[in-house]
Amino acid sequence: MNLTLKIWRQKDAQSSGAMQSYAVEGISEDMSFLEMLDTLNEQLNERGEEPVAFDHDCREGICGSCDLMINGQAHGPEVTTTCQLHMRSFSDGQTITIEPWRAGAFPVVKDLIVDRSAFDRIIQSGGYVSVNTGSAPEANSVPAPRDKAMRAFNVATCIGCGACVAACPNGSASLFLGAKITHLGELPQGQPERMSRVAGMVAQHDAEGFGGCTNIGECASACPKEIPLDVISQLNKDLRDALRAGY
């Protein structure tokens, strides 16, 4: 396949950026989207132009590093991560627009790379169970009902990629937050800190400049791990309970 790529180039956080057009040739359908970008970068390097910077690592859809807006959609046209998107989803001669995540709380670092450290700070504000090493009880001494454990698992699959934020017109991280609240909230181990956790995480979320949730639902449709929208209801419920309890 031959393609035209329109890519956001930005030297660093301080500079302003612009879209640039590149032609790439000889792309195979079996390539992943990132292998297609590797091909472009080899060609740019040969021509003496600086390659396009983008984030990636596992290339297996699990680390959450890769993060591209492709034709206006987070991770592109399929429900998956960018690294698992294959070129068979595109057609010969197509023009593809590639931009970094769009959200005030995710400032651009360079080209297609953004700073997602706000997510780490949200976890720091309560997204854990406080158990010191060595003080854990025997694992089977606290059974967890299977349906609850299953739900916990289903939402614990969040990879922290930030597609939900990038897709949301408000730049809200409610899906990411809801996933963690629900994961720990469904398990017996998560109960003692349930209220302080939600209060702390929501406060940090707001402080980071993420927007509020207005139930648009773009987040859940962009999420590569199919985190369901109802985690946001869970988040809101837990937050109400926490506020009532004076947290």
Partner 1 sequence: MASTADVSGLTELNGPPEQRSDDAHGYYTPAPEKLVDAKAPTGLIKDRWTTRKMENRLVNPANRRKLDVIIVGTGLAGGSAAATLGEAGYNVKSFCYQDSPRRAHSIAAQGGINAAKNYKEDGDSTYRLFYDTVKGGDYRSRESNVYRLAEVSANIIDQCVAQGVPFARDYAGLLDNRSFGGVQVSRTFYARGQTGQQLLIGAYQAMERQVAAGTVTQYTRHEMLEVIVVDGKARGIIARDLVTGEIETHLADVVVLASGGYGNVFYLSTNAMGSNVTASWRAHRKGAYMANPCYTQIHPTCIPVSGDHQSKLTLMSESLRNDGRIWVPKNKEDCTKDPRDIPEEDRDYYLERIYPSFGNLVPRDIASRQAKNMCDEGRGVGPMVGDFRRGVYLDFADAIARLGEDAVREKYDNLFDMYERITGENPYQVPMRIYPAVHYVMGGLWVDYDLQSNIPGLFVTGEANFSDHGANRLGASALMQGLADGYFVLPNTIRDYLADGPFEQIDESHPAVVEARTSVEERIDKFLSIGGSRSADSFHKELGNIMWEYCGMERSEDGLRKAIDMIRELKAEFWTNLKVLGTADSLNQSLEKAGRVIDFIELGELMCIDALNRRESCGGHFRAESQTEDGEALRHDEEFAYVAAWEFGGEGGLPVLHKEDLIYTAIEMKQRSYK
Structural contact between residues 55 and 162, judged by C-beta atoms closer than 8 angstroms: no
Beta pairing, strands 3-9 & 95-99: parallel
Q: Looking at this protein, which amino acid is placed at residue 123? A: I
> Taking the complex as a whole, how short is the minimal distance between the CB of residue 98 and ligand FES, in angstroms?
15
Pick from partner 1, ligand FES, ligand SF4, none: which does 179 bind, CB < 5 to 8 A by kind? Answer: ligand SF4
205 near partner 1, judged by CB under 8 A: no
Cα first-last separation, the chain: 57
Given the complex with partner 1, which of 23 and 136 has the nearer CB atom? 136
Pick from ligand SF4, ligand FES, partner 1, none: which does 176 bind, CB < 5 to 8 A by kind? Answer: ligand SF4
Structural contact between residues 201 and 122, judged by C-beta atoms closer than 8 angstroms: yes
> Taking the complex as a whole, how short is the minimal distance between the CB of residue 134 and ligand SF4, in angstroms?
31
11 near partner 1, judged by CB under 8 A: yes
163 near ligand SF4, judged by CB under 6 A: yes
Q: Which residues make Cβ contacts (< 8 Å) with residue 200, sequence separation at least 6? A: 125, 126
**Spatial CA neighbour of 173 closest among 224, 211, 120, 226:** 211
Given the complex with ligand SF4, which of 24 and 235 has the nearer CB atom? 235
Sign of torsion over alpha carbons 165, 163, 56, 103: negative
Which residues are 18's β-sheet partners? Answer: 9
Given the complex with ligand SF4, which of 7 and 219 has the nearer CB atom? 219
Given the complex with partner 1, which of 146 and 244 has the nearer CB atom? 146
Q: Looking at this protein, which amino acid is placed at residue 15? A: S
Pick from partner 1, ligand FES, ligand SF4, none: which does 197 bind, CB < 5 to 8 A by kind? Answer: none
Rounded to whole angstroms, the Cα distance separating 126 from 204 reads: 9
Q: In what order do the strands lie in the sheet with 73-74?
A: 18-24, 3-9, 95-99, 69-70, 73-74
Pick from partner 1, ligand SF4, ligand FES, none: which does 66 bind, CB < 5 to 8 A by kind? Answer: ligand FES
> Taking the complex as a whole, how short is the minimal distance between the CB of residue 217 and partner 1, in angstroms?
23
The only residue of 69, 184, 198, 223 in contact with ligand SF4, by rule CB under 6 A: 223
127 near ligand SF4, judged by CB under 6 A: no
* Contact set with ligand SF4 (CB under 6 A): 158-164, 175-176, 179, 223-225, 227
